[in-house]
Amino acid sequence: MRMRCTGLLVSAVLLIVQAGCAAAPMATPQPNASATAAAPKSSPTALTETPALALTLATATIPPTTVQAAATPSASDQRPTNPPLPTPPAAGSTPPPPTMAARPSATSCGEGAVSPVTSLVVTPDELPVYYLVIGGRLYRSTDRGDAWREEARSGLPSDAYINSVTIDYQHPKTMYAATTQGIYRRQGQEAWGLVNTLKALAVAVDFVNSDVLWAGIYLSSELEAVIAKSEDAGRTWGKADGGTGLGGMAEEILIDPKNPNVLWAVVSPRYSGSAARLYRGGRDGHWEPLDLGAFQQGGDGDRCYPGGIAYDPNAGLLYVGCYPSRPTDKVRLLRSANADAADSRTIRWEAVTASLPEVAQRVEGTRPLAVDAREPRSLLAVASFWKEITCPRYALLVSHDDGAAWETLPLDGLPQAPEQ
């Protein structure tokens, strides 16, 4: 029954998104458009070693055939032409089940209720910095998640909701933010600058050429695509989602750091009655759905709705989040040791299940966020669960043994839903 609710919830979210898009005219390219932030230049170089990375949302596709120029924003341009991430329904209606993490209703949970954790990035510095996106805002930790503080929003519109962030691993001080007001970039702790008005859910930077970016977007965007690619550091974008079929939005994209010609994405459906699918693609912009085998969504038992992807470059393991068909008191992730196999039919999956020591509530889903490949090697994830069915909560998790056992990270400085 829980699986059905999850599927229906995903469908409801998409219907809401489509309804909003039908009411508003589709965005059109701005003539004589130019980027508002200078694009960093870097010449393609070969990867000589796998850096110690924390991987979050990444993306992949094809050299653009239809190019959308970035627009210089005016005051009127600060309004998104696409709907933001699905928001809670009005009081009294049935909340739709999430594909990533629960998005709480302020009415049911009270003042101070929080939105989901949607992104986590770990810098490759000797002393790593963790950047976490929760509730549309960015938080920073310099002690591997023991304490957090909110980052300044200088340069962002006051009503911009941050969906995710990523960094350029060749130039780690360069960070991109995918927001409801467009794609922004900053250098170090400088103010954010608008790169393009394209509303994105996820952005990833190529590991070979920093000018190549990928974005997961809503189908309702001006490109009529769910995955887009830029070859000029985000100034212009082209459609790059061949093979994604009836996709409605690409929530996450991940580039394989050991082979940047391989990419993975989680794509939600355009219409009701279906669930999110895991896709694998390449630089030519063509994608194929991956079968999760015994864990493929639908049905009963141990099957999962995928949500969240992370890659461990040292172990060669791809982790996929699992939102099970029925509630559980355990954390579950799927992982594959050959997710980059030439023949996708040979990819094998296994479930990694473990108890949560400090969480007694029913776990609605577990989503991998990133891998810190340095010792002690850390797999970072978020578990969403309910104390009361109407009030979602979450726990940040870390595992040093590939998900066999988990510890909960402190939430010091992060927003939390109030106790019921």
pLDDT value of position 391: 60
pLDDT value of position 417: 61
- Among the listed residues 281, 291, 294, 153, the one whose alpha carbon sits nearest the alpha carbon of residue 216: 281
CA distance 161 to 150: 14
pLDDT value of position 138: 97
Give the residue extent of every domain in the chain: 2-25+53-63+83-408
CA distance 54 to 373: 7
pLDDT value of position 235: 97
* Count of C-beta atoms within a 10 Å radius of residue 209: 16
DSSP line for 39-69: PP--------S----B----------SSEEE
> Please, what are the averages of pLDDT over each run of 10 residues along the chain (420 residues)?
37 38 36 37 36 37 38 34 35 33 36 72 92 96 95 96 96 96 96 97 95 95 93 96 92 93 94 86 94 78 86 95 83 95 95 76 88 92 72 84 92 74
pLDDT value of position 328: 80
pLDDT value of position 362: 78
Strands (E), 212-276: 213-217, 227-230, 236-239, 247-255, 263-269
pLDDT value of position 266: 96
CA distance 112 to 68: 39
Q: From 2.120.10.30, 1.10.287.1120, 2.40.110.10, 2.30.110.10, which CATH number describes the 2-25+53-63+83-408 domain?
A: 2.120.10.30
DSSP 160: P
pLDDT value of position 386: 65
